[in-house]
Amino acid sequence: MVVDYFRPILIAIIVLLLIFLLASIIYKGKHKLVIGASMVIVSLICTILSANYMWDIGIIADEKGMAGDPVSFVLFLFIVGLSLLNPIILTSRK
């Protein structure tokens, strides 16, 4: 299926967000504002990119007469969850 080619991109975004999650858990430095701002920006960019990919998957599936890709949708929900979780964890740490 054509829409399967979008999965590695979504998985790469998830890996990037997981690296940021581990960094926010481990980080104990002084520049929390800079790290927090960059994490919010990266999370926002990742969410916008994955939403754009979901839109493209929907257009491709509609034009080809296929159903949507439920695995990519679950990956998108995981990306949105990680994007919301990363800044929350960083701000909740003391």
Q: What is the pLDDT along the chain (94 residues), one digit of tens a residue?
A: 666 677 888 899 999 999 988 888 887 777 777 777 888 898 999 999 999 988 888 888 888 787 777 888 899 999 999 999 888 888 787 5
Non-local (6+) Cβ contacts of 60 within 8 A are: 2, 3
